Amino acid sequence: MLAIESIDGEPLAVQPLINGGYNVITSDLLADGSGRSAETGEAIRYLIRKNMFKLNLKFKGEIEEISQVNSLVNRFTQTVKFNYLGTFYTVKMYPGDRNLVCGEFTAELSVNLIQE
């Protein structure tokens, strides 16, 4: 099964690495007033959005394959269709820092894609 089916409707030339190359993080977005009560110490949470996705990705392949993936994730925003617990989600995302290491014939690319 594919980890990432497509970015902006385009299939990837190479999939993320199996070991340590595909991590899905979910988090909740809380309002500024969230925190702990000074009186009781209990958590006060004002939920804005639940289960936002962040993908930690690492790719390794031939330079041409990595170049194709790099061009997709370098876009200001992209629509990513990815697998999470056996279900495919389609989410609008933007890239974090990208790290590209090139050899003579192969390359490695690491990137985080963060849900808008």
Confidence of residue 33 (pLDDT cuts 50, 70, 90): confident
Does residue 38 have a pLDDT over 90? no
> With 80 as the cut, is the pLDDT of residue 1 above it?
no
Closest by Cα among 6, 3, 1 to 69: 6
Which CATH number is 4-115 given? 2.40.30
pLDDT on residue 44: 87
Q: What angle do CA 114, 53, 51 make, to 5 degrees?
A: 140
